Chain A
């Protein structure tokens, strides 16, 4: 149980384009989902918290107009990187919690974004 999927696993795009990443909870309803960014050999940095049906809460320093988050249902959250630039290249990972054992976060497999 508690499986989280992410799509796509890898994406390469040109500078200036937008990229959408999907995060799905497959066997549970995720009341809260989180988006992280991880640079090589570094830790996970929380970008934002999203709750179904409400606006995402962004961490300090994260541009909400650049990283658009939508949590339209209890099983799906999307992150759109708008007007991507090479410095946005990173490993983006989502996680989800089910609100039952509410503290535990289950992670997706991550999306490797490369912006040329």
Chain B
């Protein structure tokens, strides 16, 4: 079945620097990859997603890239701000279903 690995588990960056979080998936038929941001005790919030028919998607300071051949996708946050501090989860959809398999999460700390 689908398996998603996420690295790093923790990431500290200075305010204004960029942050990159990487995920790999196992099922080459997976075609949808969302990223969620979760603050402590709150619900996961969708921040960006990408489908397998595109290689990159950008929304202001956030971008996601997808390499289908290598089966990995990455989240890029530029010009980080303290409010970007949270746990970020990648996910991959299980082919033929609407189910997600989540990565293990990355705790991002943006240092002011």
Could you tell me which A residues sit within 8 Å of B by CB distance?
Answer: 4, 32, 34, 42-46, 49, 91, 93, 97, 102-110, 112
Contact = CB atoms under 8 A, between A and B. Distances in A.
10 contacts: A32-B98, A43-B89, A44-B89, A97-B98, A103-B32, A105-B34, A105-B46, A108-B43, A109-B43, A110-B43
A47 B49 CA distance: 23
Residue of B51, B100, B101 with highest tally of chain A CB at under 10 A: B100
A44 B102 contact: yes
Contact of A43 (B97, B98, B99, B103): B103
Interface residues of B, number: 22
A46 B100 contact: yes
B42 interface: yes
A90 to B, nearest CB: 13
A76 B82 CA distance: 36
B43 A93 contact: yes
B43 A43 contact: no
Contacts of A45: 102
Contact of A44 (B44, B46, B98): B44
Given A103-B32, A104-B46, A43 B105 contact: yes
